[in-house]
Amino acid sequence: MRRLGKHGLGLRFVLALMAGMLLTLLAQGAEGPSSTSADPGPSPDPDGDPGTGRRLTTFVDLLSSDERFSEFLHTVQRLRMVLPLNRVRNATLLVPTNEAIQRFRREHGHDSSSATGSTYHGLADTQAWYHFIGDGVIDSSDLARAPMVWESLSRLELTDDPEAKPSDGIALKTLIGSGGAILANGVSVLVSNYSCVAGNAFQLDGLLTIPPTIRALLHTEAPGGGSSRLRQRKPLPVAPIVEGSVLSNMDEDGSFSAVEKLLAAAGWTETLGHSTESEKDLGMHTLWAFSNQAFSDAFGYAERAYLLHGPDFTRYEDAEIHREAVEDARTLAASFISSGIVSLARLGTGEHTVLGYQNRTRLTLVVEEQRDGNGLGGRINDLAIGKSDIVAQNGIVHGVEQVNRLEGLVFSPQKILAGLNATTFIRLFKETGLAHYIDGSRPDRKLTLLVPTNRAMEDAFGYGLGDDADSAQAISARLSALDGFGLDGTSVTAVIRELFPVSSPREQQLEWALYHIADGQNGMEDLVRAPLLRTKLAAKWTGSKAQVVKAQVDQAHGTLSKHISFNGADNILPEPVTAGNTTLYLLSSPMPTPPNLINVLVQDLDLSLFVAAMGASGTADEIQQVNGVTILAPVANSFTSLGLVWAYLSLPGDFDARTDLGRLIKSHILKVPVYSDEIPLHTDSSAETLTVESLNGNKVGLYRTQHGIFVVADQVNQQFSQRRRSRQSSVESRLASVEDSNKLRLSESDVLLRTGVAHVLENGFILPFNVDITSSKLLRGMKAHIFASLLERFNLTYVLDDPQASGSRQRSAEGKTTARSSDIPTEDRDKDTVGYSLLVPSDKAWRDNAAYRELTRRDRDESASSMEDEENPWRNSTTADIAQHLDMLMRLHIIPISAPISNTLDRAGRNSTGHYQLPESMLLLADRKSYPTMLGDVRLRANEFANDRFSVQLDRMPFYQSPGGVPFISFATVVRSGIARTGAVFELDTALRLPPDDDSGPGGWKKLAWNAAVWLTGIGMGSGLLGASGYWVRQWWTRSDYQSL
């Protein structure tokens, strides 16, 4: 029957009222008069009128027969419910008393008489029908037995079907409260029983209110807990935000947002009910509600995000991915929602079969009595039911304590990426033909994916990924063809690079995508032990070796922290996400592929001189074009500490310097990429060393110890301040025997390059065998042109040669030396000269020397008279005297290096070119050590006045003379130095002075008198000091004998 009275009170109400009265009269006339009773108690006839004894047929008769129901009857009449109510049979009415209705009106502000549509005094017709139970005639014993769920007739009048079934109505629940009171939805039921032909009626001490919808219940109720009290939903703690996601940890008991979002993701929000829906559109459903905590226990972070938000994240992406996300959400949700009302109380104990939503699955329901005797419990698909039969406006809710993982629900890496809202990453992989890495088609393959967020991807590539000319289908076809040859990973990438160069945006994206795929599953603990990840990007420019990603895991107090980064890109998840054999990290920014070596090295100021040296030597372009290299990069301090060696190597326009510098640079470039985890570890049982050839041709050894990574080569130069032990010539024979302190140590390892890797040397550098640093080259670097010209003038150039040549030429030159230089000390007669160290004043110091100025003037124009430098003390000396003085002065600045003849060659090993290489221990200055010179028995003393700062002066020569003599000072400071093959070169700030002649001071009786005066003065001062000390002791001793009076 259609709903009555939708257009006002009018004629329909009058006709309905008259028809109701007529039917009542006819029923009474057919039954005949009944006897009356003066007893005010219940009529003997259960269906009779207590006042008249007439038999009551309908609920309208029943309500009309007692004044206590007048308010409810009046409401029924005003809501036009009389005609449909007269048709109701086999039902039970819970009728509120007049006091209950009046209390309801006062509490809700509906005291004034008003009727609007289907509402009268705030009471809607649906709520009025909710007081009728359609499960048959119920007596008080039925209500008092146990908790029960009843189906009302709340929606009977809303249907056009006159044969509407009671199951269309909203459920209500009765139970025994404290004190034995019967409660219906929490309202007390009076035990008084009223009957009519249509059914029974019980008084209520209040009005039944329509329960909230399932959606509203999820916001306030705790279906999974043991308590039935309502709980206000609390704000959930926020997990690390996945971009675009509102996913929370959902770990608080009593919060049920997860099940609500799951049904929304499945597109089944109508099962929960909406406040905007009309009551007629609300279908009845049963929800098996799980808590957020139960959902979190069953699924990981990204899995939950995929199930709850995957359909939203993929809505505007690939249609297939979106359909798959929706289907997965429905697969899981179908096990937790059923059509119609499924009540444990109505089914009773035992095993039952319940259909899932849309008949997608069959659920096995086992109903059992709870052990505490508090109603019924049970299991649904082996999931324990915590709280059951919570009635809702559109169905019923049961709380389950667990969530099961369905066998058919498999999470591929692609699904996890969708859950992390990395849909741009998915699209890039699909468009570049790499979908097989994420679609789960190879579940046995172990991978690690480094996934930037959508925003990071868009910042890197924009919203349009790639160009239209380079189709994804073409790349995919090429990949498929390569798979046919059994190639995978590194091999596939290498062949791709041979097939087509990286020229288009799509190809660059393919390269970028491959760089974000690493072999193997790598958790945080794995990355602490092995921080280098081999990616799928391998090509010709890396020597067919896989490009590497460098991970850094922060540790605090020896434990793993939650922070990890890859090539500086931070992982924003607290833990890596795992999908089968694939581990995923979500990055805050993309990882660009490693740049070329120049772009990397120039970013570090400590490597600026190395980069400059590459450019100066002309090797930068050559090195950048080499595929697959290892750079052992010296720091700037290593170059500057070379002193004169660097001054020579950096000479502009010098062919030899440029060639030697190029060889030096190439000796630091190894021909294959060597990462730190490929370098063998020296242990007690193994001393294995990795030996690699450089571009220069020299061999370089690499090994690790507990102190770090070390480099050893044919010749290694460290800073001069570090004294090192002697070296053998063979790399392989000395690797295990020489201590770590004798090697070059890496201060930083694994600096990633496009063509390989770079390691930074802590100090020092590799000096290759074919770079022959001689004293003459150091003089060129110092720009000591005057010193070099004087060596040539006085036939002393043999001091620049190797020991063999210098020995032969020295013997031939001894006849040309002065008498003083021919005197060889006795202690050096059993030694052989193996080299020379030079103390070289600068050209400016020579120009300040009067003898040199005069000699230069005479060489320029000896016969001409000149007024220039008239005050020069050498102006009146002969040229021979000046030349002899300068010859002696040059010899004073040359230190012969002597060693015992028997072991000279043993200590001075030969390098690969056959030249002798003297140990640095024989060449470096030492504090307060005396050195011979080529000026006879004259010796020099070195003094270290600061860290690695030395001065040189004449040994055993005071700064004063006796009276009548000339004060004398011969002192110079070492400005720079450099180690050559056969000696050292020390740059002085000034030239030393020759020692004075023996007759330069007073002689004869004057000298004797001066010495006697000095001795007498010393004896007198000593005697006075001794007498004063004795007098003080006597006074102290006498005072100690005094006695007190």
**Which amino acid, residue 342?**
V
The proportion of the chain whose per-residue pLDDT surpasses 70, expressed as a percent, equals 72
Enumerate the H helices of 795-930 as residue ranges.
Answer: 803-813, 819-822, 843-847, 850-861, 879-892, 904-907
681 is a domain residue: yes
- For the domain that residue 612 is a member of, what is the CATH number? 2.30.180.10
**Which amino acid, residue 807?**
G
Give the distance, in angstroms, between the CA of residue 787 and the centroid of all CA atoms in the same chain: 60
Grouping H, G, I as helix, E, B as strand and the rest as coil, residue 792 is helix
pLDDT digits (tens, 9 = 90+) for 543-598: 888 999 999 988 664 555 568 999 989 999 888 999 999 999 999 988 888 888 88
CA separation for the pair 689, 735 (Å, rounded): 7
Give the pTM. Answer: 0.72
pLDDT digits (tens, 9 = 90+) for 901-930: 545 444 445 554 555 667 777 888 888 899
Is residue 869 predicted with pLDDT exceeding 80?
no
105 is a domain residue: yes
Q: What is the mean pLDDT of residues 701-727?
A: 68
pLDDT number for residue 632: 95
Work out the pLDDT band at 812, boundaries 50, 70, 90: very low
Write out the H or E segment, with its range, that includes residue 832: strand 831-841
Work out the pLDDT band at 900, boundaries 50, 70, 90: low
Spatial CA neighbour of 235 closest among 246, 245, 225, 243: 246
Q: What is the mean pLDDT of residues 243-253?
A: 40
Higher pLDDT, 841 or 467: 841
1037 is a domain residue: no
Q: Which two tokens stand for residue 30?
A: 């057919």
Write out the H or E segment, with its range, that includes residue 233: none
Spatial CA neighbour of 259 closest among 229, 227, 224: 224
Classify residue 15 by its DSSP letter.
H
Which of residues 748, 766, 784 is at a domain's end?
766
Which of residues 378, 400, 422 is at a domain's end?
400
CA separation for the pair 460, 589 (Å, rounded): 9
Which of residues 552, 585, 618 is at a domain's end?
585
pLDDT digits (tens, 9 = 90+) for 72-120: 999 999 988 899 999 999 999 999 999 999 998 888 776 666 656 678 8
Write out the H or E segment, with its range, that includes residue 712: strand 708-713
- Whether residues 745 and 886 fall in one domain: no
Spatial CA neighbour of 803 closest among 888, 898, 887: 898
Q: What is the mean pLDDT of residues 978-989?
A: 90
Q: What is the CA radius of gyration of the chain?
A: 53
- Whether residues 745 and 611 fall in one domain: yes
Work out the pLDDT band at 840, boundaries 50, 70, 90: very high
- Whether residues 793 and 711 fall in one domain: no
CA separation for the pair 96, 1019 (Å, rounded): 136
Count of beta carbons in the 10 Å neighbourhood of residue 440:
19
CA separation for the pair 673, 11 (Å, rounded): 98
Phi then psi dihedrals of residue 757, to 5 deg: -150, 155
421 is in which domain, residue-wise? 413-585
Q: Which two tokens stand for residue 555?
A: 């540790």
Grouping H, G, I as helix, E, B as strand and the rest as coil, residue 264 is helix
Instruction: Give me the residues paired with residue 896 across strands.
Output: 836
pLDDT number for residue 749: 93
CA separation for the pair 942, 929 (Å, rounded): 6
CA separation for the pair 635, 762 (Å, rounded): 7
Spatial CA neighbour of 807 closest among 916, 887, 907: 916
pLDDT digits (tens, 9 = 90+) for 379-423: 999 999 988 999 999 899 999 999 999 888 999 999 999 999 999
Q: What is the mean pLDDT of residues 318-343?
A: 92
CA separation for the pair 912, 915 (Å, rounded): 8
Question: In Å, how far are 559, 835, 897, 899, 986 from 922, measured between CA atoms?
Answer: 50, 10, 7, 9, 14
CA separation for the pair 740, 759 (Å, rounded): 17
pLDDT digits (tens, 9 = 90+) for 121-133: 888 888 999 999 9
CA separation for the pair 7, 117 (Å, rounded): 8
Grouping H, G, I as helix, E, B as strand and the rest as coil, residue 94 is strand
Q: What is the distance between the terminal CA atoms of the chain, rounded to a whole angstrom?
A: 143
- Whether residues 293 and 424 fall in one domain: no
Is residue 727 predicted with pLDDT exceeding 80?
no
Spatial CA neighbour of 711 closest among 682, 691, 733: 691
How many residues in total does the chain contain? 1045
CA separation for the pair 372, 390 (Å, rounded): 19
- Whether residues 805 and 915 fall in one domain: yes
Q: What is the mean pLDDT of residues 856-884?
A: 79
Classify residue 694 by its DSSP letter.
B
CA separation for the pair 267, 330 (Å, rounded): 8
Work out the pLDDT band at 862, boundaries 50, 70, 90: low
Is residue 539 predicted with pLDDT exceeding 70?
yes
pLDDT digits (tens, 9 = 90+) for 779-807: 999 999 999 999 999 999 999 987 655 45
Report the number of distinct structural domains present in the chain: 5
Write out the H or E segment, with its range, that includes residue 798: none
Work out the pLDDT band at 819, boundaries 50, 70, 90: very low
Classify residue 213 by its DSSP letter.
P
pLDDT number for residue 94: 94
Higher pLDDT, 905 or 699: 699
**Which amino acid, residue 199?**
G
209 is a domain residue: no
Spatial CA neighbour of 745 closest among 721, 762, 759, 720: 762
pLDDT number for residue 37: 28
- Beta strands at 756-761 and 629-633: parallel, antiparallel or unpaired: parallel
Classify residue 20 by its DSSP letter.
H
DSSP string, 529-577: H--EEEEEEE-GGGTTPEEEEEEEEEEETTEEEEEEEETTEEB-SSS-E
- Whether residues 732 and 817 fall in one domain: no
CA separation for the pair 797, 814 (Å, rounded): 13
Write out the H or E segment, with its range, that includes residue 353: strand 350-355
Q: What is the mean pLDDT of residues 590-616?
A: 89
Is residue 324 predicted with pLDDT exceeding 90?
yes
Spatial CA neighbour of 230 closest among 207, 254, 213: 254
CA separation for the pair 369, 589 (Å, rounded): 56
Work out the pLDDT band at 1027, boundaries 50, 70, 90: confident
- Whether residues 755 and 668 fall in one domain: yes
Q: Which two tokens stand for residue 220?
A: 């306030």
- Whether residues 382 and 448 fall in one domain: no
pLDDT number for residue 735: 36
1010 is a domain residue: no
- Whether residues 193 and 245 fall in one domain: no
Long-range (24+ apart) CB contacts under 8 A made by 929-932 are: 930/955, 931/837, 931/895, 932/825, 932/828, 932/895, 932/896, 932/898
Residues 6+ away with beta carbon under 8 Å from 71:
96, 97, 98, 101, 102
- Whether residues 378 and 525 fall in one domain: no
CA separation for the pair 346, 389 (Å, rounded): 10
pLDDT number for residue 1039: 64
Is residue 775 predicted with pLDDT exceeding 60?
yes
1025 is a domain residue: no
11-25, 317-331, 363-377, 434-448, range with the lowest pLDDT: 11-25
Range ranked top by mean pLDDT from 363-377, 714-728, 884-898, 935-949:
884-898
837 is a domain residue: yes
Residues 6+ away with beta carbon under 8 Å from 395:
171, 214, 271, 283, 284, 285, 286, 287, 340, 341
Residue whose entry in the numeric block shows the structure tokens 């022959």: 772
Classify residue 24 by its DSSP letter.
H
CA separation for the pair 312, 247 (Å, rounded): 12
441 is a domain residue: yes
Is residue 226 predicted with pLDDT exceeding 50?
no
- Whether residues 357 and 425 fall in one domain: no
Q: Which two tokens stand for residue 868?
A: 């220039």
Residue whose entry in the numeric block shows the structure tokens 């020995």: 807
Is residue 276 predicted with pLDDT exceeding 60?
no
- Whether residues 571 and 620 fall in one domain: no
Question: In Å, how far are 365, 531, 914 from 664, measured between CA atoms?
Answer: 82, 31, 19
The chain-wide mean pLDDT, for the chain, equals 78
pLDDT number for residue 381: 92
